[in-house]
Amino acid sequence: MKQKDRMTMTSLEKVVAKADRTADPDWWRGAVIYQIYPRSFQDSNGDGIGDLAGVTARLGYLEDLGVDAVWLSPFFKSPMKDFGYDVSDYCDVDPIFGTLDDFKRMVDEAHRRGIKVIIDQVLSHTSDQHPWFTESRADQTNPKADWYVWADAKEDGTPPNNWLSVFGGSSWEWDTQRCQYYLHNFLASQPDLNFHCPAVQDALLDVLKFWLDLGVDGFRLDTANFYFHDKQLRSNPPQTRSVAAIDAPRVNPYLRQDHIYDKSQPENLVFLQRMRRLLDQYPGTTTVGEIGDGDRSLTTMTAYTSGGDKLHMCYTFDLLGGAATHAYVEKTLKTFEAGAGDAWPCWALSNHDAVRHATRNLPLTQNPLRQGKLMGALHLCLRGSVCIYEGDELGLTEADLAFEDLVDPYGIRFWPEFKGRDGCRTPMVWEAEAVNAGFSDGKPWLPVPADHLEKAVDRQAGKADSQLEFYKAMIAWRRRSRALTKGSVRFLPSDGDILAFVRETDGETVLCVFNFGQSGAGFPLPEGLSVVSVADVGFGSTLVEGVATVPAESAFIATVK
């Protein structure tokens, strides 16, 4: 059955979906997006795995939190070798998550509550169980023979070049059917699609159209800079610069190469322009690309989102790895803004692939709750859109799991120096006293950490000094401020552990001052500025005679004129 025949929409349904999207075509600019990892959000049927019906049941929580949109990690048919990031059918729901009807109900309910829906799209590679790959590997002359990246062995039988997989080892796998190597940037069971083949591009754009016609409001694009490879298959040179371990852990030899040929190729920009032309046929839809490009990530993000003809926004791993020291945060933000032009970022502090920021920042603080609020305030004041990972609004830390509890192949491969991604994927905690914290009546696919229970939603809701209530207040303040959602940013001179900037637009100016230090600090208001109103989000900052006194690990946020 063809993709477009799987589910049809009536003309009226299409009109309604389009009307919803066009109410505010720029809703994504400055939006607060909440990432849902469906396996871990809410289980509705007791099998221990979260599902789409569970997401629908918890949309009231997200409406109360105040987010503009949700991003759902993959829920498509998959053998789950990489938990959905190995797709075997782009246009159907895996039975563990429900059905296409469940998805439609979830979208309808989200829209009824004023929440947009962004879904993950893993376009760079498929599962080796996808029908496309089954056909492609059959021989070298079939209609899909060039849909994946195939190459002959060298004379000595070794792979065609030195490219390495992000998950460890060579990124080439020998296939005994074709007697050739195929490229995989991740698991060997995730063969890379060949974007140099026009038919592949056409098929993937048809996939996007399928979901757009079902009413989605946009796409998060996994590994968006991995689509194209160097057509000549040139080997990467060794890494000669000192680079941070952003894209991979230090124990992974992937960091020893300068990845100039296996990703971020110039042809990618042309495909992204094709994609944008499709999205422009559905006004009010958006794209957010994931960029993993080492110390070039911010430059790549700028290139991919500038000009208004490619991606709407991107995020990098620059705020997803390591501790958020004052110096690092300031350098990252200023480096991006220096070359950003009209590019639009989407900033994330945590996601399903990174150690939770509450844990990464523990070495910096004596008060984790205060530190969590500081990072939340910074995040929600940044120029760009922001993506909050499920549980960050609760201050959840990385789970410390035993080896026998691991299911992530990445962590199993590099244990114990790198424990993988399971620690940030444990189930959401809803009710501290309920079975499995209210996530499921069955055994969860990953354990519910005991130290997460005290941070459950029911323990924080309505508690004035909780991190959850702080996030609600801060999101509400951001949404009321056009300067914070749409405005420009201008950094101010500051001393010590203070980072300060103003957000400005349409006659509205917001002053944002962040104290990363362990003691209080003063920040004199710039000459000519006076405070109109202060964000009442619980930091306890004061203003006396033109000087804002900001407690340790706190912020001062105010509308000024």
Residue indicated by tokens 């589910």: 7
Q: How far apart are CA 77 and CA 101, in angstroms?
A: 15
Using DSSP, how many helices (H) and how many strands (E) does the chain show? 15, 21
Q: How many CB atoms lie within 10 A of CB 34?
A: 25
- The string of DSSP codes covering 540-552 is --EEETTEEEE-T
In the residue annotation, 400 being an active-site residue is answered as: no
Residue indicated by tokens 């993950």: 120
Quick one: CA torsion of 556, 313, 339, 517, rounded to 10 degrees? 30
Among candidate residues 51, 192, 222, 247, the one labeled active-site is 222
Query: What does residue 36 show for φ and ψ, rounded to 5 degrees?
Result: -110, 125
Among candidate residues 290, 393, 408, 497, the one labeled active-site is 290
Tell me which DSSP letter residue 393 carries: G
In the residue annotation, 222 being an active-site residue is answered as: yes
263 residue type, one letter: K
7 residue type, one letter: M
Provide CB contacts within 8 A for 291, sequence distance 6+: 224, 225, 297, 300, 301, 304, 314, 315, 316, 317
In order of 62, 212, 279, the CA distances from 21 in angstroms are: 19, 11, 11
Q: Which residues of 400-416 are buried (b: 16+ CB within 10 A; e: fewer)?
A: ebeeeebebbbbebbee
Helical H segments across 78-143, by residue range: 100-112, 131-136
Q: By C-alpha distance, which of 161, 160, 166, 172 is closest to 186? A: 166
The residues carrying an active-site annotation are: 222, 290
